[in-house]
Amino acid sequence: MTDNIPLQPVRQKKRMDSRPRAGCCEWLRCCGGGEPRPRTVWLGHPEKRDQRYPRNVINNQKYNFFTFLPGVLFNQFKYFFNLYFLLLACSQFVPEMRLGALYTYWVPLGFVLAVTVIREAVEEIRCYVRDREVNCQVYSRLTARGTVKVKSSNIQVGDLIIVEKNQRVPADMIFLRTSEKNGSCFLRTDQLDGETDWKLRLPVACTQRLPTAADLLQIRSYVYAEEPNIDIHNFVGTFTREDSDPPISESLSIENTLWAGTVIASGTVVGVVLYSGRELRSVMNTSNPRSKIGLFDLEVNCLTKILFGALVVVSLVMVALQHFAGRWYLQIIRFLLLFSNIIPISLRVNLDMGKIVYSWVIRRDSKIPGTVVRSSTIPEQLGRISYLLTDKTGTLTQNEMVFKRLHLGTVAYGLDSMDEVQSHIFSIYTQQSQDPPAQKGPTLTTKVRRTMSSRVHEAVKAIALCHNVTPVYESNGVTDQAEAEKQYEDSCRVYQASSPDEVALVQWTESVGLTLVGRDQSSMQLRTPGDQILNFTILQIFPFTYESKRMGIIVRDESTGEITFYMKGADVVMAGIVQYNDWLEEECGNMAREGLRVLVVAKKSLAEEQYQDFEARYVQAKLSVHDRSLKVATVIESLEMEMELLCLTGVEDQLQADVRPTLETLRNAGIKADAAGTWKISAPAPKPTQQPRPSKVWMLTGDKLETATCTAKNAHLVTRNQDIHVFRLVTNRSEAHLELNAFRRKHDCALVISGDSLEVCLKYYEYEFMELACQCPAVVCCRCTPTQKAQIVRLLQERTGKLTCAVGDGGNDVSMIQESDCGVGVEGKEGKQASLAADFSITQFKHLGRLLMVHGRNSYKRSAALSQFVIHRSLCISTMQAVFSSVFYFASVPLYQGFLIIGYSTIYTMFPVFSLVLDKDVKSEVAMLYPELYKDLLKGRPLSYKTFLIWVLISIYQGSTIMYGALLLFESEFVHIVAISFTSLILTELLMVALTIQTWHWLMTVAELLSLACYIASLVFLHEFIDVYFIATLSFLWKVSVITLVSCLPLYVLKYLRRRFSPPSYSKLTS
């Protein structure tokens, strides 16, 4: 590539994807729901509705009672493979085409369809039971006649519903009342947004003040709400009470909502239903994931098409050798039926059953406990991953925050000096309690210490007040809950918040002497080292959002009446809010390079008149229905000026256990990981003469640049002496062009880029950026949105054609996991949403190594051997049929009829062939010790055109040998040909299974002996096809032995010579 990248527009590829891209609103219109509109909902009067609302029914089933069988059959026969066998079976009803008994074609097809129908039925029944359990949950509804019980499916918009503690919220509701004394409640939202931390919700103030819940039906009030949409983090509405004088109006936001699927964690609540059924936020956010079809299945399908081509060619050749005499077109059809075994109908069943076995083995592996296989159709994908993308927080790290650093500008306190902070806090409150008389001429040391103590005190007090943490008191078996809450028992207190960072900060203030002991909707209590309780009134709270990157709180000190505005946030936004200083940027960078999450804490004192003016403007902005967020943000920003910088806090998110050894294992397997995110496995170059390009790594995280880079270094993904190019922020095409040219001149350095710059580069220079990025040893992408994560996965798939695997643990990783070819969810601090959306679920990141190196490798190699052996089994008998027909003047007469043709692929050979799913070339310990074995799978050698051709040649050789041998050695009757050839065929298949097996399992031996015993025992009942007296003669035995020996011995010799002079890589480790 030249120094100047040509300014060419990006040609976007159209993605052929089965995932529906239409919005939920379009879906509602298609389903007859009409255009979603804002609504007015009267409390307790569902009959007063201005539009029709859907029933509150959850339905995740694909079929109903009437559409199940037609739907399943249609989904099966829309594929050529099954349709082909259906046409074959139906052709046997035509007398001119019939070749044998009907059951020889209908029984195998019926068995395949029965397995599919049973599997689908089990899934549908499970889904029905889950849906029925949810729809039949009973709730209490407030009516004029009192409280009545109602099923979840019968709840309507406008109903007043009572939800108890630990009960699921049945519909999207507005929070009206709570039994909690603090006037708020907590929600568990892990099944909605993937976060395990509890969320604080506030009731409507007007309804909370009512004496009883029954009074809700006595007032004339309504809720005006926005139209249904998919945004679970925002809501705009108003509450109006008309029968008061003057009428009362309150603004409603996300803090007043109870979304369906969440669980009440404290108290009993009453809410009015706003949305139901398909208009629920949780339902509208549930998109049908992309139907994942494994690369292995596509390859097998390709081989099936080749076999069909061979079937047609052989049939045409047979008719051509007859010189197309007579009704030759009927002869073609008869030959197509005669050689139909070329395409094995049992192939799909064997592979599907094999996948079930692989999934069972993964779940039962004691070394990766808790692993769940949620998609049993793609276990082979795990053995061929080329790109591995991972989230950072909670996936590579523990998401357990530990307070590490307090920086005041001139002095910093680490873990080893926290006792000094504690002494400062103790001295401040000790002096306040003692209040000693003023001394004359205090010394300089006393002044300096008092100044430093006050600075530390202000910083600690700000951290203890500026948060959204609530202390919850639980019974510990000795003290009951009420007594513990009254006495502020330390042993019974648990902190709950929406972020683990905030809990870590509040726990730290407790450790240094300033403890948060109480909080409700309007007040907060702190306890000093001298057990004095400090009371603060909460005037306003401005919660953290991803757009603002900061949170604030306005409190009034009850003892002094002072009003203070505290704020904390990211340095990028706080730098323009605090007063000028010369140390903020430098120290933030230093702490971030240590891997710490940095927050800037500031404060501003407000006069009473200043606050009253702000409050009036703020309330007016919150009542706006249009552009509410913009108006509220504008009012808040009027306060965010010239704030006093108090301190910086540094919190560390520690790495998970064994992350470094796991990454080292992946690196040795060809996944050279030098940054946390996506590992590019060494793949073969496009041209045979080129060397494989070095492996690449991409890191996808929402964290800031310095923290993400430091985490990558801590995990040994980016070496400490490796050059790192920080891609500067670009906003347009020209800037991106210049920066890409600057980056191109650097060699062998890691790339660090922000999500905004990445978006600009992909918009204008997608090809050029990907070409440059693929030459880097590591790419770290910071400030990545969930949409960008999915976009990167899609881009890698389109540009490279390689398999991708995404690993994440939070709700923001779901889109990336579903977009990838193989999604792995980690059950962590952020909940189970990623785990539930993934194809495979693990409990720790370190389990990923064994999942790929052992189970992925075994699944792929076993399926490759199984599929090729099933094809070999079918080609053998088809070759024998071709030889038989050609010898007897190209007659379309079947060699084997009736039970012989069915028994061949079922009871006589099914168990030994299927036992290949238990085979393995090396022990799991060896596969983990030598992850380099994983590299061989990336080239697709276990199942390739080369191996397929080898098995075809083996089949032709063995089928011809057996058939010609039987024709040469038979003496008088045709039935002797059948006996000799069929017995030799069965023995050959059993010996070939033994030849293929690399590690014997006791079940394999049982399968071989059982199949042989079944065949010998069944000979007594096969007198219609086989001469029972002939098989008991010595002549039969030596003829079968000779034919079987000639068909198998050369292959055993070739296998020995190959292992002797050109052994595979794994054989060196097992010798």
Which tokens in the block code for residue 895?
């060699």
Q: What is the C-alpha to C-alpha distance for residues 713 and 311, in angstroms, rounded to an integer?
A: 58
CA 874 distance to own-chain centroid? 39
Ramachandran category for residue 670: left, alpha or beta (phi over 0 → left; psi -120 to 50 → alpha):
left
Burial 608-645 (b: 16+ CB within 10 A, else e): eeebeebeeebeebbeeeeebeebbbebbeebbeebeb
| 915 secondary structure, DSSP code | G
CB-based contact 542:529 (threshold 8 Å): no
- φ, ψ of residue 698 in degrees (nearest 5): -125, 135
Which tokens in the block code for residue 734?
């020209």
Q: What type of residue sits at position 988?
A: T
DSSP run (H or E) holding 710: helix 705-714
The single residue listed with the structure tokens 């007198």 is: 1023
Which tokens in the block code for residue 111?
């068995």
End-to-end CA distance of the chain: 48
| Cβ contacts of 135 within 8 Å, gap of 6 or more | 57, 58, 151, 152, 153
DSSP run (H or E) holding 798: helix 786-800
| 397 secondary structure, DSSP code | E
Q: What is the C-alpha to C-alpha distance for residues 813 and 811, in angstroms, rounded to an integer?
A: 5
Rg (CA), the chain: 36
CB-based contact 230:285 (threshold 8 Å): yes
CB-based contact 336:312 (threshold 8 Å): yes
Please list the alpha-helical segments (H only) found in 906-944: 910-914, 924-929
Q: What is the C-alpha to C-alpha distance for residues 622 and 238, in angstroms, rounded to an integer?
A: 9
3-state SS string over 224-258? Answer: EECCCCCCCCCCCEEEEECCCCCCEEEEECHHHEE
Strand partners, 599: 649
Q: What is the C-alpha to C-alpha distance for residues 237 and 462, in angstroms, rounded to an integer?
A: 32
CB-based contact 810:336 (threshold 8 Å): no
CB-based contact 161:273 (threshold 8 Å): yes
CB-based contact 407:648 (threshold 8 Å): yes
Edge-to-edge strand order for the sheet containing 237-241?
Answer: 39-42, 221-225, 237-241, 248-252
* Closest to 710 measured CA to CA, from 813, 780, 786, 792: 780
Peptide bond into 246 cis (omega under 30): yes
CB-based contact 931:853 (threshold 8 Å): yes
Active site annotation includes 391: yes
| Cβ contacts of 613 within 8 Å, gap of 6 or more | none
| Cβ contacts of 612 within 8 Å, gap of 6 or more | none
Among residues 197, 297, 391, 653, the one annotated as catalytic is 391
Which tokens in the block code for residue 944?
């390739």
Q: What is the C-alpha to C-alpha distance for residues 398 and 395, in angstroms, rounded to an integer?
A: 7
| Cβ contacts of 881 within 8 Å, gap of 6 or more | 338, 339, 341, 894, 895
CB-based contact 852:362 (threshold 8 Å): no
Active-site positions read: 391
